[in-house]
Copies of this chain bind each other. A is one copy, B any other.
Amino acid sequence: MTPSTTATTLSSTDRSTPGRTKHRTLFDRAALYDVLDAGLLCHLGLVLDGSPVVLPTGYGRDGDTLYLHGSTGARSLRAAADGIDVCVTVTHLDGIVYARSLNHHSMNYRSAVVHGRARPVTEREEKLHGLRAVTEHMAPGSWEHARGINTKEYAAVSVLALPLHEASVKVRAEGPNDDAEDVEANAAWAGVLPIRQVFGTPEPAADLATDLPIPEHVAARTAQASTGPRTSSR
On A, residues with C-beta under 8 Å from B are 14-15, 19-20, 40-41, 43-56, 58, 71, 73-75, 85-89, 91, 93, 95-96, 98-103, 105, 107, 109, 111, 113, 115, 131, 135, 138-139, 142-143, 145-150, 153, 157, 175-176, 178, 182-183, 185-209, 211-215, 218, 221-222, 233-234
Contacts of A88 in B (CB 8 A): 54
A-B contact pairs, 28 of them (CB 8 A): A15-B53, A40-B107, A41-B107, A43-B89, A47-B51, A51-B87, A52-B53, A54-B113, A56-B111, A95-B200, A98-B142, A100-B146, A101-B147, A102-B135, A102-B142, A102-B149, A186-B212, A189-B212, A189-B213, A189-B214, A191-B208, A192-B202, A193-B199, A193-B200, A193-B203, A193-B221, A195-B200, A196-B200
Q: Bound complex: CA of A93 vs CA of B186, how far in Å?
A: 38
Q: Bound complex: CA of A17 vs CA of B176, how far in Å?
A: 41
Q: Bound complex: CA of A75 vs CA of B202, how far in Å?
A: 43
Are B202 and A191 touching (Cβ within 8 A)? yes
Copies of this chain per assembly: 2
Are A205 and B176 touching (Cβ within 8 A)? yes
Chain B, Cβ-Cβ closest to A39: B93
Contacts of A49 in B (CB 8 A): 14-15
Known: A100-B146, A214-B191. A15 touches B48 (CB 8 A): yes
Q: Bound complex: CA of A194 vs CA of B198, how far in Å?
A: 8
Give min CB distance, A145 to chain B, whole Å.
6
Kindly name the residue among A56, A88, A142 whose own CB sees the greatest number of chain B CB atoms within 10 A.
A56
Are A73 and B191 touching (Cβ within 8 A)? no
Give min CB distance, A49 to chain B, whole Å.
7
Chain B, Cβ-Cβ closest to A176: B205
Q: Bound complex: CA of A74 vs CA of B192, how far in Å?
A: 24
Are B203 and A234 touching (Cβ within 8 A)? yes
Q: Which 4 A-B pairs have the closest CB atoms?
A: A194-B200, A45-B54, A45-B52, A56-B91
Give min CB distance, A163 to chain B, whole Å.
15
Are A187 and B147 touching (Cβ within 8 A)? yes
Contacts of A40 in B (CB 8 A): 93, 96, 107, 195
Partner of A73, one of B19, B45, B55: B19
Are A55 and B113 touching (Cβ within 8 A)? yes
